[in-house]
Amino acid sequence: MANNIILKFAKKYKFSYAIGIIFMILSSCIQSLFPKVLGNIVDILKISNFNKNLVITNIFYIILIAAGGFLSTFIWRNLINSNSRRLECELRETFFTHLQKLSSEFYSKRKTGDLIAYAINDISAVRSTFGPVTAMSINALVLCAASIYSMCKTIDWHLTLITLIPIPFIIFFTVNIGRLIKIKFTDVQENFAAISDKVQENIYGIRVIKTYVQEENEIESFEKLNNKITDANLSMVKTSSLLSPVIEFCFSISFAVNLIIGGKMVLNRQITLGDFVAFNTYLTIIINPIISIGRIINTYQRGMASLERLNDILNVKPKITDNGKISSLKINGDIEFKNLDFCYPGLNKKSLQRINIKIPKGHTLGIIGRTGSGKSTLVNLLFKMYNIEAEKIFIDGLDINNIPLETLRNSFGYVPQDNFLFSATIKDNITFFKDLYSYNDMKISTESSCIQHSIDSFKDKFNTLLGEQGINLSGGQKQRVSIARALIKDPAVLVLDDSLSAVDTITEGTILNNLKNIRKGKTNIIIAHRISAVKDADEIIVLDNGFIHERGTHYELLQKGGIYYGIYNEQYKDSPKEAEAL
């Protein structure tokens, strides 16, 4: 997957890459001219045949070579490195977009810190590999080839071959050490993901940690992870640090061989002193890109390890099928479940069995039941958070599988039991960063959800900045902001999944009364543990172990004397006056 993105990107920017590579080759060829010109100057400076004009001419050539090398290097570096940054941006956008498409099941198996490591470190490593490192590799190859050609052509090919004998050994060594670097970098990335997850978990759970006085234990746990990532990094550094010393040692042998054999050739007048100086300069030019092979191999193997890790994520297919082809569909809110059974992926026990419900447009359905009875599962299937068998759920008479996911989910307003708020202003949290709503729209939604009074008490009102996950709000305030976010959307179907559990019964009653007024003629589903939240629903169903055990209005269910009646007695046994009011 990531490989295809890189190939498409290369095709998209093929002209800038082509121009960059042309200037890269030109830069290397220009640089390879310098040693020969320097050698010529050395020969001209001999007292016996000194020629001032020739010296000036060759100095001019050196300045010209320096200017040409600077200009061509500047051009190719800008083109190639700019493209690598664009590639990084495209990879990160693709990765983030892919994450949005994946199902809840994927996130239940992956840690947040691990995914953050993919989005930051791994993509950055891939960018380095397919940007600077690729450019350095091509530049080093061309520069070495041009230099070796000049050494053979203009000086002596026997001396060149003898001097460069260590190079095959260098190549063999770097290829093998590169494999080890790749393995060790993968270990580093995995440890980085673990430590990222630990830090994030502690920040989110800091209140619980402090409440249970677990600071010391968490510090010890962090130290262990920190030591593991340190050991992994040190292991990788020890391996990669072998590259440069080995290459330098091999080139030291080349210089020693050149001094012995080349010096003897100068004395025997087989080559000139200028040729000898030029040869040593060529060796110096070659040594830099060869030494950089260490860094190239190191970064390349990191990039390949990161590319494999990215492919592991990008190759995960979204499990929720979207076969809906009906365009320009507006959902009204008629819902029907027909003999629905559901089992979570990987489990054998059914979470829902033989569910048959009709919710006409404009009606309110109350769902009550003990923890784990299947209440949230039922509404999650309405949003198609999991794949559903054909002809089990119908909306406006259409099989839910024939409705496009975007159209389906846009038609719902959902307030989950685990409220999530962004680190942004109250306004942004209510409008979900959209400019579709007016101030009056916000006011209506916040007054209906009974949060307006709290907002007015804040210094910056709607522009009050919330901490991470709304940490500066109480549980009840978070729930009411989330309800306002659902109401401002004015959806065809509103789902409250135990969304009034953190507010008092008086506020709960006010919110429910407000909903009756503003939600007239629209479908509502209220899941709750408290009977007071569902008592006015047009129909109430009682779920237990995935079955609908009872159904009817509040008074009908009380008369049956079943589960609902038992919950009623449990909740109001100490409050007879409240029970009478119901």
pLDDT in tens, 52-102: 777 788 888 888 988 988 898 888 888 888 888 888 888 888 888 888 888
For the cut 70, the answer to whether the pLDDT of residue 48 exceeds it is no
For the cut 70, the answer to whether the pLDDT of residue 124 exceeds it is yes
Mean pLDDT of 18-22: 87
Q: Give me the percent of the chain exceeding a pLDDT of 90.
A: 6
Mean pLDDT of 124-136: 81
Which regions of 424-522 does DSSP assign to beta strands (E)? Answer: 493-497
Q: What is the pLDDT of residue 47?
A: 53
Those residues whose C-beta lies under 8 Å from the C-beta of residue 103, and which sit 6 or more positions away, are: 318, 319, 320, 385, 386
Sign for the pseudo-dihedral over CA of 126, 131, 132, 137: positive
Residue 21: which of 150, 126, 137 has the closest Cα? 137
Q: Which CATH class is domain 2-189+235-314?
A: mainly alpha
Distance in angstroms (rounded) separating the CA atoms of residues 330 and 200: 41
For the cut 90, the answer to whether the pLDDT of residue 123 exceeds it is no
Residue 315: which of 118, 173, 575 has the closest Cα? 118
For the cut 60, the answer to whether the pLDDT of residue 199 exceeds it is yes
Q: Is 116 exposed, middle or buried (0-12, 13-18, 19+ CB in 10 A)?
A: middle
For the cut 60, the answer to whether the pLDDT of residue 581 exceeds it is no
Which regions of 416-532 does DSSP assign to beta strands (E)? Answer: 493-497, 523-528
**Domain residue spans in the chain?**
2-189+235-314, 335-581
For the cut 90, the answer to whether the pLDDT of residue 276 exceeds it is no
Helix (H, G, I), strand (E, B) or coil at 326: coil
pLDDT in tens, 501-543: 888 888 888 888 888 888 888 999 999 888 888 888 999 999 9
For the cut 70, the answer to whether the pLDDT of residue 337 exceeds it is yes
pTM of the shown model: 0.69
Strand order in the sheet with 547-552: 412-415, 493-497, 523-528, 364-369, 539-544, 547-552
For the cut 90, the answer to whether the pLDDT of residue 255 exceeds it is no
Q: What is the mean pLDDT of the chain?
A: 82
pLDDT in tens, 389-422: 888 999 988 888 888 888 888 888 888 887 788 8
Reading the block at residue 302, the tokens are 């990191």
Mean pLDDT of 183-193: 80
Give the H/E segment covering residue 15: helix 14-31
Distance in angstroms (rounded) separating the CA atoms of residues 399 and 335: 10
Q: Which CA distances in Å does 142 have to 59, 264, 334, 447, 531?
A: 25, 30, 70, 71, 78
Q: Give me the percent of the chain exceeding a pLDDT of 70.
A: 94
Domain at 335-581, CATH homologous superfamily? P-loop containing nucleotide triphosphate hydrolases (3.40.50.300)
Q: What is the pLDDT of residue 358?
A: 92
For the cut 90, the answer to whether the pLDDT of residue 365 exceeds it is yes
**Pairing mode, strands 398-399 and 393-395:** antiparallel
